[in-house]
Amino acid sequence: METRIVTATDEFYIPGVVALAKSLLKYNYTLTVLYDGKKQKFGQLLELGCELIPSPVMKERVPGNINWITRSMYSRFFIPSLIQEPRVLYLDADTLVLKSLENLFNTSLESFPTGAVIDQSLGTMGKQRIVGVFSSLPAFNSGVLLMDTLRWKAYKIGETALRWLLEDPSSYPSIGDQAVLNHVHWGSFVPLSSVYNHSYRRPINNATHIIHWHGPKKPWHTTNCDFKEIWEKIYYE
């Protein structure tokens, strides 16, 4: 199924997007980038064939940067209003594609708006913080989202997430968009295989399709980062 691949970035995450774009080109995939900042800062991405779209976060009152979490993360809220294709694969700027994504593109979302990998790193308290008092509800990691943009529009997912975030930002601390998106979905998503959002904190195997450097350690500015050599190999090609 035809799927548009989209990421979001600011200046801090440019190295991550460069590596991501190069990893996608290996499989003849192109990348659309929602950028936060002055367009001339992102010229390297144009050279890699990326499409650049200014992110609406530059005009919204979204929370500012907190450590490695920057306001550009909230760009994914606006994807359905910016992208015409009915299906989008959103990838965080700190991910890297290691295998073809054709099977992922053809995954059925049934009647749900989103497909995502359950975040196994969250314990009960983490789930409670994300989805409320019902800790039995599954919580997903928002670094890889297979989106049905028509259903996102119909269910007003992005608009609701933004409204809740602006009304009560203190309720969604530390993990930003992931918290509020899980709150809006309330457990209603299609669980994807973990091979499509593989934590860098776990051993990689031949089945790993997408590796994700979530958290504060990024391979472009941290020396003791697991699998940094994989990232560097693609970045410097």
Q: Cα(93)–Cα(15) distance, rounded to whole angstroms? A: 9
Q: Which range in 84-88, 136-140, 166-170, 212-216 is most confidently predicted, on average pLDDT?
A: 84-88
Say which DSSP state 171 is in. G
Encoded tokens for 182: 């899980």
- The total number of residues shown for the chain amounts to 237
Helix (H) or strand (E) holding 51: strand 51-54
**Pair 114, 158: CB distance under 8 Å:** no
Domain boundaries, the chain: 4-235
Q: Give me the residues paired with residue 53 across strands.
A: 34
**Taking 80 as the threshold, does the pLDDT of residue 54 lie above it?**
yes
The arrangement of secondary structure in 4-235, i.e. its CATH architecture, is: Alpha-Beta Complex (3.90)
87-91/144-148 β-pairing? antiparallel
Report pTM. Answer: 0.93
Q: Backbone phi, then psi, for 65, in 5-degree steps?
A: -75, 140
H helices of the chain, where? 14-25, 43-47, 79-82, 102-105, 124-131, 149-154, 157-167, 177-185, 228-235
Q: What is the pLDDT of residues 128-175, one digit of tens each?
A: 555 554 556 788 999 999 999 999 999 999 999 999 888 876 666 556
Sheet with 210-212, strands from edge to edge, namely 95-97, 210-212, 198-199
Q: Which one-letter amino acid corresponds to residue 221?
A: H
Encoded tokens for 178: 């992931």
